[in-house]
Amino acid sequence: MSDFLSIAYPWIKSFHIMSVIAWMAGLFYLPRLFVYHVEQVGQTGETQALFQTMELKLLRVIMNPAMIATWVFGLCLVFTPGIVDWSEIWPWTKAIGVLAMTSFHHWLGRRRKDFVNGTNDLTGRQFRMMNEVPTFLMVLIVLSVVVRF
């Protein structure tokens, strides 16, 4: 298996990067949809239903598969011989960042359900602030991997 991972390394790394890009796009866009949902849309009507559909499709069709692919390809990279030295700090900071990003993803999924159930109590300002979380985590992860601090 490790021979296959070594041979396929450039392909796995490429697919990992592509899936991360798709996942990050969703992590940036879904909170923005929530801002507009809170500030521009009421709790009933066609626009409410439209936003719920857009949020659901973004989460289920783009974000969830991209997150899963990111994890699968990332774990393949971790198990590729010679790629990760766990005695260094950077793999641990990256792992913390990825776990936090995954938690944020699931937090967004719960907020979507709040809209569906009519129980959202967060404001547009709060969603705007939460929209900075994936940016911070992206910086942590990229610096961990590239600078290897």
Q: Alpha-carbon distance 23 to 101, whole Å?
A: 10
Tokens of 79: 């198990």
Contact in structure between 38 and 127 (CB atoms under 8 Å): yes
Report whether pLDDT(93) > 90. yes
Contact in structure between 146 and 36 (CB atoms under 8 Å): no
pTM of the model: 0.93
Report whether pLDDT(42) > 90. no
Residue boundaries of the structural domains of the chain: 2-146
Report residue 101 CA to chain centroid gap.
5
Kindly give, in sequence order, each residue whose CB lies less than 8 Å from that of residue 62, ignoring residues fewer than 6 positions away.
22, 25, 26
Question: Which of 138, 136, 134, 131 has its CA nearest to residue 31?
Answer: 131
Question: Which of 42, 47, 52 has its CA nearest to residue 111?
Answer: 52
Q: Quote the pLDDT of residue 46.
A: 85
Report whether pLDDT(140) > 80. yes
pLDDT confidence bin for 1, thresholds 50/70/90 = confident
Q: Quote the pLDDT of residue 119.
A: 94
| pLDDT single digits (tens) 53-91 | 999 999 999 999 999 999 999 999 999 999 999 999 999
* Token pair 């011989």: residue: 81
Mean pLDDT of the chain: 95
Mean pLDDT, residues 20-38 taken together: 97
Mean pLDDT, residues 105-123 taken together: 96
- Helices marked H in 41-89 — which ranges? 46-57, 64-78
Q: Quote the pLDDT of residue 44.
A: 74
Q: Quote the pLDDT of residue 31.
A: 97
